[in-house]
Amino acid sequence: MKYLYETHMHTSEVSGCAVSTAAEQVRAYKSRGYAGIIVTDHFINGWTTCPTHLPWKDKMNYIASGYKKAKIEGDKCGLDVFFGWEFTVRGSDFLTFGLDLDFLLAHPNLDIFSVEDYSGLVRSYGGFLVQAHPFRKAGHIEYQFPVEHWLVDAIEVYNASMPEETNAKALNFAKHHNLPMLAGTDSHGNRLPFYSGIKLNKKAESIFDIIEAIETSTAALILP
């Protein structure tokens, strides 16, 4: 038996680009046979609906609100929900796993960190950093290529929202630098033709089981 997990998804409660609520997303993944999801809403330096005037504590609680609502729905329907976020620096995005709301609350002004400083801090606390769609091209992306490979723990080599050529470049980069790989849907809504993510041989009891599977390359990528 294989256990399916989404590694990259958004909720309309927090991410300005999303069109489905946390509860709608949870039900969509449950209906497709997934065992769990990692909610990776945009951080306040990305495309978020978080009001800019709020104090840091309120901003961080806002960022976690999509996850919290997804967790409530997941507990109801039997889908495991884990917390993450998508951190943005100059248009480049980094999925962050393995840390919690307490970490965010303890680090005000995290949103203005450079990639180097953010990577060092996250990993010093045991977090896991993945560059999402590293070769994506868009007008708001200042550097449309991967960061130095030693700054991240893994590369998203398949993103269901990206063109085939973009994903192929990411795959080649990860292989060249011998970096762990993962796939994700980058879901912003619950009506998609194809859902991606990873498959595990056993149920993840925590997000750290997912991280370990990615690190050890025992997580199979969900590909078309």
**pLDDT single digits (tens) 136-190:** 877 666 655 688 999 999 999 999 999 999 999 999 999 999 999 999 999 999 9
Q: Let me know if 161 is exposed, middle or buried by CB neighbors in 10 A (0-12, 13-18, 19+).
A: middle
What pTM value is reported for the model? Answer: 0.96
Q: Does domain 3-222 correspond to CATH entry 2.60.120.620?
A: no
**pLDDT single digits (tens) 176-211:** 999 999 999 999 999 999 999 999 999 999 999 999
Poorest-pLDDT segment among 48-57, 70-79, 135-144, 170-179: 135-144
**Residue ranges covered by each domain of the chain:** 3-222
Tally of CB atoms within 10 A around 203: 12
* Maximum distance among all Cα pairs of the chain, rounded to whole angstroms: 48
**pLDDT above 70: residue 96:** yes
Q: Rounded to whole angstroms, how far apart are CA atoms 107 and 129? A: 17
Q: Rounded to whole angstroms, how far apart are CA atoms 23 and 71? A: 9
Selection from 145, 136, 125 nearest residue 8 by Cα: 136
Q: What is the pLDDT of residue 52?
A: 95
Q: What is the pLDDT of residue 156?
A: 98
Q: What is the pLDDT of residue 137?
A: 76
The secondary element (H helix, E strand) that includes residue 186 is none
**pLDDT above 90: residue 127:** yes
Q: Rounded to whole angstroms, how far apart are CA atoms 24 and 164? A: 28
**Contact at 8 Å (CB) between 23 and 74?**
no
**If you count them, how many residues does the chain have?**
224
How high is the mean pLDDT of the chain?
96
Selection from 151, 142, 132 nearest residue 9 by Cα: 132
The stretch 128-142 carries a mean pLDDT of: 84
